[in-house]
Chains A and B, each alone.
Chain A
Amino acid sequence: MRASVVTRPLDLGALVREVADARSGATALFVGTVRSTNDGREVRAIEYTAYEAMAEREMSTVLVEAEQRNTGVVLVAEHRIGLLEVGDASIAIAAAHEHRGPALDALRYAIDEIKTRAPIWKREMYADGSESWVDPARSEAT
């Protein structure tokens, strides 16, 4: 298990290689990317910031929980912070297991919990030049 907050582009292949080995018949990868619209507004870029030490700690706790719920699964998660453009990957999580069920279940648990618990924030920058902090509770979808 490893969870990190990074400032460089995410290397998806490296994450898959980190968890997969000869015993794992299933490797699942989740990638969250910056999308071009949110709540009907055209998004140009997103600036992610984090309480980095706590974010890594909380992400690690979530991965441990996911591993406890899915015995034998191996997980790695990286969240990128800084200024990201549309299409850039902001988070990637890889899960490997002998079989697909636990790998997919662990991945789903990990992304859902990280989104609601890790102290990470995003400020959306819109095509019209305005900006705002995103509050998922006030958005239609996240």
Chain B
Amino acid sequence: MLITVRFFASYADNLGLRDTELALADGASVSDLLSSVARLPGASALPRNPLVAVNQVYAAPETRLRPGDEVALIPPVAGG
């Protein structure tokens, strides 16, 4: 299945990328997706377990992904 992944702020700078599509096995979890992200160029600058949102809601590593999900890696937030 194809999953859209979005990157923001320092993570987008590190990867030189704002979004990408990753092909994952059906039934893959957030944790599996992070393993794929870790193979992208520049990913060594990212933490091993970044915060992740699935369809705009914070999600745990074991969360199962479904085709069409929008996943975002969330750097340490600093609003306000």
Chain A contacts to B: CB under 8 angstroms? 32, 48-51, 53-55, 57, 79, 90-91, 111, 114-123, 133-137, 142
Q: List A contacts of B57 (CB < 8 A).
A: 54, 57
17 further interface pairs, Cβ-Cβ under 8 Å (given A49-B9, A115-B79): A32-B80, A49-B8, A51-B6, A53-B56, A57-B57, A79-B80, A90-B79, A90-B80, A118-B79, A120-B77, A120-B80, A121-B9, A133-B9, A133-B10, A134-B78, A135-B76, A135-B78
Does A121 contact B80, Cβ atoms closer than 8 Å?
A: no
B49 to chain A, nearest CB (A): 14
Q: List B contacts of A133 (CB < 8 A).
A: 9-10, 13, 75, 78
Q: Which residue of B lies closest to A122 (CB)?
A: B78
Does B77 contact A116, Cβ atoms closer than 8 Å?
A: yes
Report if B53 contacts A (CB, 8 A): yes
Report if B74 contacts A (CB, 8 A): yes
Residue interface bits B25-62, CB-to-A below 8 A is 1, else 0: 00000000000000000000000000001001110000
Q: List B contacts of A111 (CB < 8 A).
A: 80
Q: List A contacts of B8 (CB < 8 A).
A: 49, 51, 119, 121
14 CB < 8 A contacts A-B: A48-B79, A54-B53, A90-B79, A115-B77, A116-B77, A118-B79, A119-B72, A119-B74, A121-B10, A121-B79, A133-B10, A133-B78, A135-B75, A136-B76
B9 to chain A, nearest CB (A): 4
Does B78 contact A51, Cβ atoms closer than 8 Å?
A: no
Does B79 contact A91, Cβ atoms closer than 8 Å?
A: yes
Given contacts A49-B9, A133-B9, contact A91 B80 (CB under 8 A): yes
Q: List B contacts of A50 (CB < 8 A).
A: 79
Does B80 contact A54, Cβ atoms closer than 8 Å?
A: no
- The interface centre, meaning the residue of B6, B56, B57, B74 with most chain A CB atoms within 10 A of its CB, is B56
A142 to B79 Cα, complex, angstroms: 9
Does A51 contact B76, Cβ atoms closer than 8 Å?
A: no
